[in-house]
């Protein structure tokens, strides 16, 4: 397996066939069906994931990247 955990932080609109393929690439997959309201919610959703999917609806800004990068080291 290529990833320990893949998280889709919001409703990316992935078809079930695409989700099935992603499940084969990771030990754990999490797919959210809504949209996070805050950076803290985005950070919590990403958690310890080593693969992240996001739609154009959810901005991943410097704060999110810095916080997640720091917490994963």
pLDDT in tens, 7-53: 999 999 999 999 999 999 999 999 999 999 999 999 999 999 999 99
Looking at residue 50, its pLDDT comes to 93
Give the integer Cα–Cα distance in Å for 43 and 8.
12
pTM recorded for the entire structure: 0.89
Q: Are 10 and 54 in contact (CB under 8 A)?
A: yes
Alpha helices by DSSP H, listed for 1-73, are 16-25, 39-46, 62-71
């Amino acid at each position: 397996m290529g990833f320990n955990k893949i998280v889709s932080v919001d409703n990316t609109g992935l078809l079930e066939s695409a989700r099935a393929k992603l499940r084969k690439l990771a030990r754990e997959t999490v797919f959210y069906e809504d949209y996070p309201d805050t950076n803290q919610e985005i950070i919590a959703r990403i958690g310890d994931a080593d693969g992240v999917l996001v739609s154009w609806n959810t901005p991943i800004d410097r704060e999110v990247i810095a916080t997640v990068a720091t917490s994963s080291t």
